[in-house]
Structure formats: C-alpha cells, structure tokens
C-alpha cells in the first residue's frame, strides 16, 4: 500500500472524507492494511486497538475512518491517564451513529450500498448495530473470544434464523493467501462489492489481531483499577440524594434524575414500572424503556428508545451512553471529580431494569446484549437478585428466545461476564 494513502487517512480520521484521489481505486489489501494501521493508532492512543472504515461500494471510496474510543484521557495533576468514556464507542458501532447523524446533510447512499471494513470480527454489540442498520461488513481478523463468528466451523450457530440470514447476506470474511478460505453465507456473492472479493495478506490479518491483543490486558486493567467498590461504603451518609450541589449539577442534563427511590436496589417498584410505561407512551416510535438504579435504591436515569434519531438507539444503548458520558464529564472536571469518585460508581454495582424483556430475535436485542457484556468487562459482583431485570414479557415466549440467544453468544459473554435476565418480583 502507498504509505501516503494511510498517512492522509490517519490525519483526517473522524472527518467526512471528500473525493480525494488517494481514497479511490483501492485494492482489497489496501483496505486491510489501512484499517490495520488505524487500529495500531488506536492502540497508541491508549484505547482498544480496533478500527473501522466506511466505504462506498460503487466508487470504492473511503467516506469515514475511526478507531475505538471507549477510553479517553483525563488529566490528574501533571499526569494524564485513560478513563472509560463510553463502552459503546467501538469503531463499528460509532460508524453507524455517524452515518445516521450525517446521511441527509451529506446525501450518503443507503446502508446496503456501503461496507464497513472492520479490523476485527465485530463483537455482539457491533454485529447487532451493523445488522440493524443494514450495512455490508468486511472482516480482516477473527476474534475467537468475543467475535460474532468465533465458532468458525459452525457458522453463526446459536443465533435466531432472522439474525443468521443477515450475517450470511452481509458479512464477508476474505480469503487469506495460503491460510484461510473466503467465507460468506451468500453463495452467489450478488450483494458484495467486487473490491472486497480478492485475497488479503496474512501480515494484515496478524497486524489487526496483534493490535487488539496488545490493548486487551492494558485496557481491562485500566478500567478495573479506575473503579471503586461502593459495596464497601454504602452507608446512608454516602447517598448522593443528600448532596444538593451534586444533584443540581446532574439535573442540569437530566431533570428527572434521582426523583424515584426504591427500598431495595434489586427489587424495582410498581412506581418505576408506571414511570417507564409513561415514557414509552409519550415517545414516538418507542417500544421499550430502561432504568438504572444505584445501590442506594436511587433511580439515577431512565431512558426510552429513540428510533426517530437512529435505528440502533435502543433504550438500553441510550442509558449506558448517557450514564458513562456524564460520569466522564464529572471525572474530567477537577472541580466535580470527587462527585464521580463518590457517587457515580460503575453500573455493574447497580441494577438495570427493562419495561419489557428484550425479544431475543432482533439484531437490536443482540446489540443490547453485546453492550451489556462490553460494559461489564468481567463478572457481575452481586448476581442474585439479578443485575439484569425486566417487568414483563411483551409476547409469550420472548424470554425463552432471549435465553437461547444468550446461549449462542461468543465465549466472552458466557464465561467472562454471564448474563442472567430475571423478571422483577414486585
């Protein structure tokens, strides 16, 4: 690959890329090398070493490029360290959000005429996001732990048929010279852009995988070291509801925050259920709502689907993004940092509760399960009563289907995290 292409791409990442000559007429290997170098840049930036490109199928032009942004730096004294900004900020998922934010203004083609080039087999969150939106996906390196195609010899076994159909039509695993055969469930390759059908080199694959592996232990260690355990300091004196200055700041962004309280943080109340029902009724196109409860029983945030903004803006995605981002804002500002340290613990110590159980059939359900796993990055401290609850099934059999989807997830979600949905016992 011409190094000038990569240098220009890296310099202009996170920008809409216009019709510069250096972004056109790329080979399959060019895309693989470019996303590999971008993943290495993410590693060097202190976040996860995974990256993505958005490519126009018709011209082969790169429209947008970015790397994972889960971790961002904060300054403490004369030093800078990484802190979790948003666990949904994987490169592939952020490309989907970017597309919906800009498609009208930039007159972008529909998703089925675009391809997301990913340096690593997408996780459950990113796979669900890409399928919900309808993008084609070109995968450079496998991920045997959290990648959606981790069961390589079994295809996408364990996923519902509706999701498997999307994987087979949209996901491309290119041939690697003398190492791996081309794989795609679409035998006639009719929907695949020709620029993605040639083999790629083993060096590009190994480079993408190594960028991820080099960041794995470091990022997990950083996340775990930056969190305190509120279970060790849960006296009522530490309850944020008693700090008016903190509440005033928090409610500037979320006026309804901390206005509902339950007696036990793992036993949501009928009052909360009615509040979530009202949110759904009052929000166009919404089908579900989710609440997050801290260990003191405070309902910190409630969110609802916002499909009017983006097809992947589920209530769960919204609540996770909003909680982590406001927590990062408090942590980033030296005058409010102590509030983040004392009151805004990692949500693995609280409880998430859905109005309706996720359906277990849709790509958005797969995405939500993936967000849950990416957010936790390890086991839940208190498993019973469940950290992941719901008030009711929308349709009979939804929970059985949900459990089947969980059983079909890659090893990381079952072995490292463990997802145990349970119905609220009111």
pLDDT in tens, 169-227: 889 999 998 888 877 766 555 556 677 888 999 999 999 999 999 998 777 776 666 56
Q: What's the pLDDT score for residue 100?
A: 95
What is the tens place of the pLDDT at every residue in 51-90?
999 999 988 889 999 999 999 999 877 788 888 999 999 9
Q: What's the pLDDT score for residue 225?
A: 61
DSSP secondary-structure letter at 196?
G
Burial of 90 (0-12, 13-18, 19+ CB in 10 A): buried
pTM of the model: 0.92
DSSP codes of every residue in 273-321: HHHHHHHHHHSTT---EEEEE-TTSBEEEEEE--TTT-TT--HHHHHHH
Closest CA to 331 of 72, 45, 87: 72
Structure tokens at 361: 């059939």
Mean pLDDT to the nearest integer, 392-414: 89
| Lowest-confidence segment of 82-86, 228-232, 262-266, 285-289 by average pLDDT | 228-232
Mean pLDDT to the nearest integer, 404-420: 90
- Distance from C-alpha of 348 to C-alpha of 86, rounded to nearest angstrom: 14
DSSP secondary-structure letter at 113?
G
Q: What's the pLDDT score for residue 179?
A: 84
User: Is there a contact between 309 and 100 (Cβ–Cβ < 8 Å)?
Assistant: yes
**pLDDT band at 233, cuts 50/70/90?**
low
User: Pairing mode, if any, of strands 289-293 and 351-356?
Assistant: antiparallel
Q: What's the pLDDT score for residue 134?
A: 94
Q: What's the pLDDT score for residue 182?
A: 79
DSSP codes of every residue in 232-244: GS-SGGG-GGG-H
* Angle subtended at Cα 252 by Cα 250 and Cα 255, rounded to the nearest 5 degrees: 85
Mean pLDDT to the nearest integer, 88-94: 95
**CB neighbourhood size of 240 (10 A):** 18
| Lowest-confidence segment of 145-154, 199-208, 355-364 by average pLDDT | 145-154
> Element (H or E) spanning 166, and its range?
helix 161-170
State phi, psi for 261 to the nearest 5 degrees: -130, 140
% pLDDT > 90, the chain: 66
Task: Between 26 and 250, name the one with better pLDDT.
Answer: 250
158: left (phi over 0), alpha (psi -120 to 50) or beta: left
What is the tens place of the pLDDT at every residue in 361-389?
999 999 999 999 999 877 788 888 899 99
**Can you list the domains of the chain with their CATH numbers?**
3-223 (3.40.140.10), 228-423 (no CATH)
Place of tokens 């029983």: 297
394: left (phi over 0), alpha (psi -120 to 50) or beta: alpha
Helix-, strand-, coil-residue percentages of the chain, each rounded to 5: 45, 15, 40
On the question of pLDDT at 278 being above 70, the answer is yes
Structure tokens at 92: 């592939």
On the question of pLDDT at 1 being above 70, the answer is no
- Distance from C-alpha of 176 to C-alpha of 166, rounded to nearest angstrom: 23
DSSP secondary-structure letter at 333?
S
Dihedral sign for Cα atoms in the order 186, 191, 194, 195: negative
On the question of pLDDT at 405 being above 80, the answer is yes
Residues 6+ apart with CB under 8 A from 212: 39, 48, 49, 50, 119, 120, 141, 143
Closest CA to 52 of 89, 107, 83, 25: 89
User: Is there a contact between 49 and 218 (Cβ–Cβ < 8 Å)?
Assistant: no
What is the tens place of the pLDDT at every residue in 285-341?
999 999 999 999 999 999 999 999 999 999 999 999 999 999 999 999 999 999 998
| Lowest-confidence segment of 129-138, 236-245, 306-315 by average pLDDT | 236-245
- Distance from C-alpha of 133 to C-alpha of 362, rounded to nearest angstrom: 12
Task: Between 22 and 398, name the one with better pLDDT.
Answer: 398
DSSP secondary-structure letter at 387?
S
> Element (H or E) spanning 132, and its range?
helix 124-133
The overall average pLDDT reported for the chain is 88
On the question of pLDDT at 20 being above 70, the answer is no
Q: What's the pLDDT score for residue 78?
A: 73
Structure tokens at 189: 């390759």
- Distance from C-alpha of 88 to C-alpha of 376, rounded to nearest angstrom: 11
């Amino acid at each position: 690959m011409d190094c000038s292409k990569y240098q220009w791409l890296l310099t202009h990442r996170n920008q809409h890329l216009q019709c510069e000559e250096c972004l056109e007429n790329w080979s399959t290997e060019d895309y693989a090398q470019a996303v590999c170098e971008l993943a290495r840049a993410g590693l060097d930036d202190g976040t996860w070493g995974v990256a993505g490109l958005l490519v126009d199928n018709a011209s082969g032009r790169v429209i947008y490029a970015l790397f994972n942004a889960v971790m961002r730096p904060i300054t403490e004294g004369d030093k800078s360290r990484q802190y979790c900004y948003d666990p949904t900020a994987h490169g592939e998922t952020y490309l989907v959000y970017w597309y919906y934010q800009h498609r009208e203004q930039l007159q972008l083609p529909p998703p089925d005429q675009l391809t997301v080039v990913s340096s690593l087999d997408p996780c459950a969150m990113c796979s669900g996001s890409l399928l919900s939106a309808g993008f084609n996906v070109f995968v450079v390196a496998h991920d045997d732990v959290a990648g959606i195609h981790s069961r390589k010899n079994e295809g996408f076994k364990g996923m519902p048929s509706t999701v498997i159909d999307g994987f087979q039509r949209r996901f491309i695993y290119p041939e690697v010279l003398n190492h791996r055969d081309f794989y795609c469930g679409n035998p006639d390759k009719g929907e695949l852009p020709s620029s993605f059908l040639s083999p790629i080199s083993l060096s590009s694959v190994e480079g993408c995988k190594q960028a991820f592996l080099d960041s794995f232990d470091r990022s997990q260690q950083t996340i775990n070291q930056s969190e305190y355990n509120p279970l060790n300091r849960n006296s009522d004196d530490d309850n944020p509801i008693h700090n008016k200055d903190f509440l005033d700041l928090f409610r500037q962004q979320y006026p309804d925050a901390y206005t509902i309280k339950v007696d036990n943080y793992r036993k949501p109340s009928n009052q909360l259920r009615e509040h979530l029902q009202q949110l759904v009724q009052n929000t166009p196109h919404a089908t579900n709502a989710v609440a997050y409860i801290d260990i003191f029983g405070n309902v910190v945030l409630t969110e609802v689907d916002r499909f009017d903004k983006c097809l992947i803006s589920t209530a769960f995605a919204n609540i996770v993004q909003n909680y982590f981002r406001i927590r990062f804002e408090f942590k980033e500002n030296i005058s409010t940092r102590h509030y983040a340290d004392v009151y805004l613990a990692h949500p693995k110590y609280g409880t998430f509760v859905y109005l309706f159980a996720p359906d277990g059939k849709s790509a958005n359900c797969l995405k939500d399960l993936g967000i849950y796993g990416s957010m936790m990055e390890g086991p839940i401290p208190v498993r019973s009563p469940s950290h992941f609850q719901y008030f009711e099934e929308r349709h009979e059999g939804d929970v059985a289907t949900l459990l089947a989807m969980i059983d079909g997830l890659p090893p990381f979600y079952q072995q490292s995290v463990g997802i145990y949905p349970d119905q609220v016992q009111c």
